[in-house]
Chain A
Amino acid sequence: MPRETAVHEPHEHVFIPQHRHHFETEEQQREAGSFGMWLFLLTEIMFFGGLFFAYLLYRNWYYDAFVPASNFLSVTLGGTNTAILITSGFCMALAVWAAEVRKKQFLVIALILTTVFGLAFIGIKYVEWHDEWEHHHVPGAGFDISEFVSPNAHGITDQKAIPPDMAQHCQIFFFLYFAMTGMHALHMIIGIGLLVWLILRAQRGDFTAGYVAPIENFGLYWHFVDIVWLFLFPLLYLINRHPLK
């Protein structure tokens, strides 16, 4: 069969040094890389999905335990962390722009800022976790339900007292809290490690000569981790902030 739609255009193919030879063109390589990263993010959606379902189920079953447990978390810290992570995402987006318009110093600064805000997030997370540890809210043998059973005795005036068997289920809330924020933090830490590597390579000029794929694809990963937190914050921190009404 003749190839009716064939055209023959003479022009140059300038290949960047990072061109892989099983790809015919830059565009193909770039598209494939981006598509591959998105598929990986799909696996992450499904991975977190299991945890989100467990949360959905137990919040429904043990709403009366989830409310005081959630109210124990600090909205100030959680909200600040949300703002910090959004800022980190903004810096990452700027980094992608910088790589595309080939501004090396801007790229390096943007990546550094992304990392700094990411570390700030982890820092605040640590403070929160430490706080929960101090109050014996880490699930396991040391879990203490007294704050939930008799809040007034602990100086808490805006919570209802709940019966001891329901208070036991606060442990499930805290398990989901630690599992979900922990899994999220793990992804952030891996991301920060990758950022350090990217900063070093960006400083060398690897990403401002036409090869932007690692920055773009890392950006996708980082924004995804951000999106997970955008859901975790209201679900974990803002369950019912006025239980006595």
Chain B
Amino acid sequence: MSATSTTIVTLPDQTTATIPKKNYISAEHGLLSWLLTGDHKRIAMLYLISITFFFFIGGAFAGLIRLELLTPQPDLVASDTYNKFFSMHGIIMVFLFLVPSVPATIGNFLIPIMLGARDLAFPKINLLSWYLYLAGGTLTLAALVLGGVDTGWTFTTPLSTHYLNTHVVTTACAIFVAGFSSIFTGLNFIVTIHRMRCPGMTWFRMPLFVWSHYAASILMVLGTPVLAISIVLVALERLIGIGVFDPNKGGDPLLFQHLFWFYSHPAVYIMILPGMGVISEVVSTFSRKRVFGYTAVAFSSVAIALFGFFVWEHHMFIMGVSNYSALVFSLLTMLVAVPSAIKIFNWAFTLQKGSITFETPMLYAFGFMGLFTIGGLTGVFLAALGMDIQLTETYFIVAHFHFVMVGGMLMAFLSGVHFWWPKMTGRMYPEQISKLAAVVTFIGFNLTFMPQFILGYLGMPRRYHAYPPEYQVLNVLSTAGATVLGVGYMLPILYLAWSLKYGPIAGNNPWQATGLEWQIQSPPLTENFTEIPVMDHEAYDYEWLEHKTQQEVTTVG
């Protein structure tokens, strides 16, 4: 029970410890018991496998992009094919990986447990959500196999409606279906958080992880349908040619962009907010300190969700919108950075005077805080109209969103997977190699994307597969970094799989963390709790935990 000075990991005695015989994995056997499950934990595992699969396909496309960009000449593939590479990379990474990454895996697994509930409000809808995700994924693969789509993930009109002969309609169907997967997940979370908290679990005693998911879920429910209608209109325009986006027939291509970005800007907050929730939990645990300014962090999550609806036009500054509206949206975009910054400050003050240790989830969390800050600040540069005109549609934008999405969100995802791996599987991952992977990822990431800021500033356009020779050095650096990054992402697959059989038994609470999920067995029972708990202390209450463990008799296995 005593922690050494360099780690807080507390494992049970490995000579006698075993995985609890009765848990959600061993509860039922057979493929159908998994495919027809209502158990939120099993659905979370199903999602984890699925999104990992799509992550590697999206990653493969990233590799192909960087391979082409090693040389200034368009020598690897034809330009249309290159367009398909970045389109598929974007579509798969955004809709099939980032949007469901934390909510559908870690969120699904933990939210009921964190609230003291037996399951989400609508288990069957949860399962339906996964099947819709698979359907969307299958349709995307179908579009890929049929020849791919080259519109870019943004389906910008009139290119997507009038100038391309690729499988736009198939991809539109895929995203339509995947969108509903996201909507149903969000719906489930909102109802669960409002109506299924255990006795004593007031709003301000919930973990901040739950607050982030609540905010993200509001965005999912209110924003995604607008994406749905926008791509339905694109499909109809292609199939019937009515002219709703066709200037020749009196339509306005910008109408599509307004509808598309009305969702796609909140989408980036859908992607990042759950990650921020993970970071709150991890930073608190590995500083042994309650999150500084709980209320501020909770409200800032909701503020990000609210303001996130007011800024979408900043993706359209050069597209022909009026200068007056551009001015308004520019100002609002700068305001939306404030709640995110509040979180970074609060995490920093959580660290101050904490007892910090550097286990793998914390390494990823530190990576997040630094890289997300850089990415976020470059977003503020882009909010300024004058800068945006220079930098938009260049590699500066590419670097900006990869810093927040990969340096930010993906690191948060990995942080969360490592942090809750012992809870979900009952086993610890190997700490040395995981630390190595985290460092490799960090180095690879910076090498890949830092040069891209410079490239963008120097004027290299995005979505081009050829470039002037003077940009080659930076591109080669970027591709080299991508290779290192790829290694960094392969390693967790290998050692996490290894840990399922050979990892040390974790016990209930290897991190000595607060939170209801750490008070139950690892892996949890199907019904989560034998009796519904009563929450009688605040979140992140380390004194309560100290008091409790002193009174407990350490049991074995």
State if A and B touch, Cβ cutoff 8 Å: yes
Which A residues have a C-beta under 8 Å from some C-beta of B?
Answer: 1, 3, 20-24, 28, 31-32, 35-36, 39-40, 42-44, 46-51, 53-54, 57-58, 61-62, 139-140, 168-169, 171-172, 175-176, 179
Q: Are A47 and B195 in contact (CB under 8 A)?
A: no
The distance from the CB of A7 to the nearest CB of chain B, in whole angstroms, is: 11
B537, CB-defined interface residue at 8 Å: yes
30 contacts between A and B (CB under 8 A): A1-B537, A22-B118, A22-B121, A22-B196, A23-B196, A31-B195, A32-B121, A32-B122, A32-B191, A35-B194, A42-B221, A43-B187, A43-B224, A46-B222, A46-B223, A46-B226, A47-B225, A47-B226, A50-B226, A50-B229, A50-B230, A51-B229, A53-B255, A53-B259, A54-B244, A54-B255, A57-B255, A62-B250, A168-B249, A175-B243
12 further interface pairs, Cβ-Cβ under 8 Å (given A1-B536, A36-B121, A140-B241)? A22-B117, A22-B120, A35-B190, A36-B188, A49-B226, A50-B226, A50-B230, A61-B250, A171-B249, A172-B242, A175-B240, A176-B244
Contacts of B222 in A (CB 8 A): 42-43, 46
Contact with A along B215-235 (1 / 0, CB 8 A): 000000111111011100100
Residues in chain B near residue A62, CB distance under 8 A: 250
Residues of A within 8 A of B536 (CB): 1, 3
Report whether A43 and B225 are in contact in the complex, using a CB–CB cutoff of 8 Å.
yes
Q: For the complex, count residues of B whose C-beta is within 8 A of A.
A: 46
Interface string of B115-151 (1 = CB under 8 A from A): 0011111110100000000000000000000000000
Closest 6 CB pairs of A and B: A50-B229, A22-B119, A175-B242, A47-B225, A46-B225, A22-B118
Compute how far the CA of A23 lies from the CA of B195 in the bound complex, rounded to whole angstroms: 10
Residue pair B229, A47 in contact (C-beta under 8 Å)? yes
- Interface set, chain B 397-423, CB cutoff 8 A to A: none
Q: Are B255 and A39 in contact (CB under 8 A)?
A: no
B residues near A39, Cβ cutoff 8 Å: 187, 190-191, 221
Do the beta carbons of B121 and A179 come within 8 Å of each other?
A: no
Contact A3 B534 (CB under 8 A): yes
CB pair B226–A28 under 8 Å, yes or no, is no
How far is the CB of A34 from the nearest CB of chain B, in Å?
10
Judged by a CB distance under 8 angstroms, whether B183 is at the interface is: yes
Nearest B-chain residue to A27, judged by Cβ = B195
Instruction: Report the minimum CB–CB distance from A171 to chain B (whole Å).
Output: 6
A24–B191 CB distance below 8 A: no
A140 touches B240 (CB 8 A): yes
Q: Quick check: A28 and B233 within 8 Å, CB to CB?
A: no
> Within 8 Å of chain A (Cβ to Cβ): is B341?
no
Residues of A within 8 A of B255 (CB): 53-54, 57
Per-position 1/0 for B240-272, Cβ under 8 A of A: 111110000111100100110000000000000
Bound-state CA distance A35–B188 (Å) is: 10
Cβ contact within 8 Å between A40 and B187: yes
Contact of B233 among A46, A49, A50 (CB under 8 A): A50
Chain B, 70-104, CB within 8 A of any chain A CB = none
Among B119, B123, B228, B236, point to the contact of A179 (Cβ < 8 A).
Answer: B236
- In the complex, chain B residues whose CB is within 8 Å of the CB of A54: 233, 244, 255
Find out whether the CB atom of A172 lies under 8 angstroms from the CB atom of B252.
Answer: no
Most A CB contacts (10 A, CB to CB) among B223, B243, B536 go to B243
Residue A171 contacts which of B125, B191, B200, B242 (CB distance < 8 angstroms)? B242
Q: Does B532 make an interface contact (CB < 8 A)?
A: yes
Q: Are B196 and A32 in contact (CB under 8 A)?
A: yes
The contact of A28 among B125, B183, B196, by CB within 8 Å, is: B196
Please, how many angstroms separate the alpha-carbon atoms of A62 and B122 in the complex? 46
Which one of B123, B191, B534 has the greatest number of beta carbons of chain A within 10 Å? B191
Q: What residues of A have a CB within 8 angstroms of the CB of B534 in the complex?
A: 3
For A3, A36, A140, which residue has the most chain B Cβ atoms within 10 angstroms?
A36
- Give complex CA distance A48, B232 in Å: 11
Residue of B nearest to A50 (CB): B229
The docked-state distance in angstroms from the alpha carbon of A175 to that of B250 is 13
CA A42 – CA B121 in complex, angstroms? 18
A32 and B119 alpha carbons, distance in the complex (Å): 13
> How many angstroms from the CA of A57 to the CA of B245 in the assembled complex?
12
Asked if B221 and A172 sit within 8 Å, CB to CB, the answer is no
